Amino acid sequence: MPRALTASDKDLWGRALSMLLLGFVCYAFPWSVFAAQPETILRIQGSNTLGAKLGPALVKGMLEEQGLRAVHQTPGDRENEVHILAHDAQGREVQVELAAHGSSTGFTALKDGSADLAASSRPIKDAEAQDLSVFGDLRSQYAEQVVAIDGLAIILHPANPLRMLTTVQLAAVFAGEVKTWEELGGKGGAIHLYARDDQSGTYDTFKELVLARQGKSLAAGAQRFESNDKLSAAVSADPQGIGFVGLASVNQARPLAIADGDSQAMPPDAELIATEDYPLSRRLFFYIKPGEQNRWAKALVQFAQSPGGQALVASSGFVAQQVQAIKVQAQQDMPESYRALAGSAQRLSVNFRFQEGNASLDNKALRDVQRVLDYLKQNDKLQQKVVLVGFGDPKADPQRAELLSKLRAMAVRRELAKGGVSLRDVTGLGDELPVAANTATEGRIRNRRVEVWVY
């Protein structure tokens, strides 16, 4: 008669059965399937301004446009790093790695091969361009891609009554020379400074546009942040605080109006940032190596410039480069001809600017030509509906300043004429209506611009 199974026997049989089942699973489904990691198809490093919100949004949009499914975002290995994951048509999981530790880190990563694309909230520096020259010209129209316009917002606690500062005052504050709110005509006692860290393109921009132009350096006591959003939250919680962030990170803080030189005080409004008239406006870039073979890097750059990509720029809190018509309020201090133009026409939300030292359009302007042409075609304004107004910086001879400003407008006319545009008028107003101080190179370049007006 068979012996009854004991508890020990049942345990042994259970273990044996488990081993048989495990062996079958491993045979039928190799362990590599379970342990497989997503394939990295694109690596982006650089600006926190771009990487915090806009970069992930553009990557997701590009992947969806390319037909990938289940696109989602997960945290990376470190703070300010994310992975964007998706599944391709074969069901494979792929990922885009995005690290946002500051603009300078993007150029370093391009050089050492740890990134396929650099995100930057400032133009590439001469030394960086030289370091990367082995790959080609990083300032060429293909390599340097302006993907959005941003405004560097100077932010305060919402209860702070101060409404505007000049760039001279701003430099003195962040250099620690102006120490109390009372010195600025306000109240609140000691000023607490909040600034981005040294790796940040936001800090580089602030340093270039504000501190360096006044020959000053950031005060040693400023609190430093790698993240725009964390800096903004700190200022919002400190009634004595002042800081600077990208436009998308103003959040609960209150931005100041800023005046530079003889220009009027301007708030960081979308229209003033789109035309780059706001004194602390700046461009946000993707930099791609000339001849880059990574198809995902090329696809992202192309998507970022498309209407769909620019819609994501706007929804992420930045200023898109889509062309719109803006009604400008006529002011008594405007030149008579300009005041008449403001009374009967609308200004387009784009300014054409030029490469330093010559009358050639810069990379953004070359792309803006097509955007303006598209707008004019869509709105039936190709024939006798457009006026170009050129501006410049002061010259010893005012007539020379006026002539140079008109020559810039004529350079834009030549480009638009290639697209079939017949202009109503071309004029130059010399050094009238400056948008920046003419005491520094950056300000003079900003003042050398061509506006587009339409009837």
Task: Identify residue 110 by its one-letter amino acid code.
Answer: L
Task: Answer whether 352's CB lies under 8 Å from 412's CB.
Answer: yes
Predicted pLDDT of residue 26 = 47
In the numeric block, which tokens belong to residue 88? 């391709």
Start-end of H helices in 182-290: 201-206, 228-236, 270-274
- E runs forming strands in 90-222: 93-99, 117-120, 144-156, 164-166, 192-196
Q: Kindly report the CA angle at 413 between 412 and 416, in degrees rounded to 5?
A: 90
Q: pTM (2 decimals)?
A: 0.82
Q: Which CATH number applies to 323-454?
A: 3.30.1330.60
Report how far residue 223's alpha carbon sits from residue 231's, in angstroms, rounded to the nearest whole number.
Answer: 9
Neighbours of 387 (CB within 10 A): 20
Q: Name the residue with tokens 């008109």.
A: 406
- Hey, which residues does 415 pair with through a beta bridge? none
Q: Name the residue with tokens 């638009």.
A: 416
**Torsion sign (Cα): 36, 42, 43, 48:** negative
Report how far residue 244's alpha carbon sits from residue 72's, in angstroms, rounded to the nearest whole number.
Answer: 31
Q: Do domains 35-147+284-307 and 150-274 have the same CATH topology?
A: yes
Report how far residue 381's alpha carbon sits from residue 375's, in angstroms, rounded to the nearest whole number.
Answer: 8
The CATH number corresponding to 35-147+284-307 among 3.40.190.10, 3.40.605.10, 3.40.50.720, 3.40.50.970 equals 3.40.190.10
Task: Identify residue 118 by its one-letter amino acid code.
Answer: A
Report how far residue 51's alpha carbon sits from residue 59's, in angstroms, rounded to the nearest whole number.
Answer: 10
Task: Identify residue 271 by its one-letter amino acid code.
Answer: E
Task: Answer whether 201's CB lies under 8 Å from 122's CB.
Answer: yes
Give domain limits for the chain: 1-29, 35-147+284-307, 150-274, 323-454
Report how far residue 273's alpha carbon sits from residue 84's, in angstroms, rounded to the nearest whole number.
Answer: 30
Residues 6+ apart with CB under 8 A from 269: 278
Start-end of H helices in 379-429: 398-417
Neighbours of 69 (CB within 10 A): 11
Report how far residue 451's alpha carbon sits from residue 348's, in angstroms, rounded to the nearest whole number.
Answer: 7
Predicted pLDDT of residue 443 = 80
Q: Taking the CA of residue 41 as centre, how many other CA atoms within 13 Å lie in the half-sphere pointing to its CB?
A: 22
Task: Answer whether 248's CB lies under 8 Å from 229's CB.
Answer: no
Report how far residue 297's alpha carbon sits from residue 41's, in angstroms, rounded to the nearest whole number.
Answer: 9
Predicted pLDDT of residue 16 = 55
Predicted pLDDT of residue 368 = 95
Q: Which CATH number applies to 150-274?
A: 3.40.190.10
Task: Answer whether 158's CB lies under 8 Å from 187's CB.
Answer: no
Predicted pLDDT of residue 9 = 56
Q: What is the mean pLDDT of each run of 10 residues along the chain (455 residues)?
A: 55 57 51 68 96 96 97 94 96 97 97 97 96 97 96 96 95 98 92 95 91 95 96 98 95 96 90 93 96 96 96 94 94 92 96 79 93 97 97 87 92 96 96 86 86 98
Report how far residue 107's alpha carbon sits from residue 58's, in angstroms, rounded to the nearest whole number.
Answer: 20
Task: Answer whether 77's CB lies under 8 Å from 318's CB.
Answer: no
Q: Nearest Cα to 414, choosing from 391, 388, 394? A: 388
Task: Answer whether 99's CB lies under 8 Å from 88's CB.
Answer: no
Report how far residue 274's alpha carbon sits from residue 323's, in angstroms, rounded to the nearest whole number.
Answer: 9
Predicted pLDDT of residue 397 = 87
